[in-house]
A and B are shown apart, each in its own frame.
Chain A
């Protein structure tokens, strides 16, 4: 049963991604001109002459002489085979440009989500069970501040004071000597030493919002009759809280996983620029500015794929967590 459901869902992902890819391609085609025109314009502005023969070669190689719809299919087919195209800006295959950065982005995002949950759940539970206490008010204030301050601003402030007070430069995800080095244990250790700060900075807003959500959801559940039933059974309040209302309030977060992934990734981009993190964020923004279409397109496709996978994970987790989703059929009117 479960297997055939997963299979169906994966099959359903194919048309979803096809439509997304068409949309991405269309958006990238929309601005007038292409990378080569931007490139020539930039060269001329700097008083240099563009290497026309090279431009011509690339145009031919990447089918820019063909109509857009044909180019779309070339792009799609190459993407499926694992060839993500060529970054004109970096003059490297897209795969090499992205490579490590994509991995680091995933690690950073993953850690951020874990951080968000680890902080938000205990605080949210405390706030809900101590509603209208001083602790609740204090944490609420902290939460609202977290929501109100944009995280790139927070990043700037932290960098500034770290430099002024401790003379530290806290940008980057690893010590400079490991940049562009192959992955090793030492590099890994260096990354772990650096990664906590961006995790905290990127996670703050999400954490604050999450605290509010945990509190609201749990407060709703605490009112329910089955909580009274559990207490009437003689269950200690703490255990009753975790087993019944908390478990029920999880539904909301599980169904939210699908939207967390893209939110974290796109939210992290500006922070990544401020802290000059070697993740995908700055690269994507640069690629979009320069109309480096294969690079930008690949990024957007990866985002789309992550989102679709996230939604699938959240749906499956919800079905496992809540028997009502699993066992109850809907009726059509």
Chain B
């Protein structure tokens, strides 16, 4: 039935191998980009075919075993893929947005000297990400999990000659290792705990079936899920491990859009969704997730208020939106979280690609005028809407969507999350307050970005400002498609209260409903409350937009006064609450000191001494034994005879 599922990750893998091995010889950008994008598109077609097949299928869970991996005792591990509504949504997002971003990259990376390397990495990323979402057991998922981490590292450090890029790549990798450690610990404990009950498995379907063997709300399940959650905070940039994501913007912009906004960073949310049965059984973990998600949404939004680098604003916005998704997962609104994951993929990819289009245009203009201004600094922009109309319109649509203005995609998903965080049996009104406040700030900083970039006077250097071109069609087509999706993508999940059928929720229900019923998770409250909350959050968003308009269009001198007035507060959020400095002080520097001690004191003196001593002894034995090999036949024969005598003697005595 679904036997061609393996083709979905296979196509990008082939693309990565072809471009990786032969890209240098092919040289032709059109061919390299065509191969990568074409294969990604094929993968999308197969994904779409499977998606629609699943849509019409009564049976919603399908496993495809590709090969046996290992079998030890009772434990059987396969290379297997799992298609259910959850992974079906994910493969559509990954291959769909992935294809568009591949197409975009052809234009964006034009002229780069290692064009082929970029596409090889990008394809490899798509392969790893698809393994992650399609993996039928935790180990296949882990391979994808590590694979996307590797590709993220390679692509953040793509401009490896730049010191800041390679440092950012290292930071991302190391911070993610902390999270991966949590993931692995969770995996080990879960495996051990289930094995204790006689179930030897890592298969997701079997884990879901035997989750009830563990004590609901018990210590064991709490530890397991907390470990997994630690893994999720690393990959999805949540408190406390969010610091790498803003630095990851050192990578090329399509990478930021694909990996650090639309797909990889949502892996943590996906993973919680995949194991929702376990998480639902651990109320303490759920509460932790909700609080961490809410706080991340709030704090990242505050930092976003004061940044001047266009990509950094979007980076903090991403962290903040991921916070929403975790908030949703934490209050048990699993399908709402995945819904927001999808709409966010549309509008945030569009925003990143739009910012890339702006950067690309400015870069071109500066290059033309032989200037070295920073093309990412919003203070050098302004008035670009006339120069780049398509970029502007798509960007505006996505901004409205992320701000939560009714009838754009972001509104439906964000509103569902806010409603659940208030009304869910696992929710709390304070969580709603965090979310609503973050929504207001989101509207503010996003429109601040739009106003600073596209409206007002052109602040670009006079020599360059007339040379900003609209981007080529490979860039504008993805923008238009994504902008369109950002506009209408929410209509598959219109809530019942607004007269919709919430088909998205119904589609995902087979994955989540069981855990929600079994653990009594549901949202309750009157329609009046729901309408009121909705009205408040829309009002907050409009206030945010209005404030931004007042400050950055009507009275452009206002922000300066504002900063002067609240210099202390501004400094704190401008410097990202000094979190990086705090981590340097608490973790990085002590680790370095301990490391230096272990190196100079323990490693060089003790460990090396022991190792070299052993090596010396072993080598000595080796050279000694070598002399038995005299080369003379009679010696050899003699040793044989001795051997025979010893063996016979061994048996006789």
Q: Do A and B come from one complex?
A: no
- Residues of A bordering B, CB below 8 Å: none
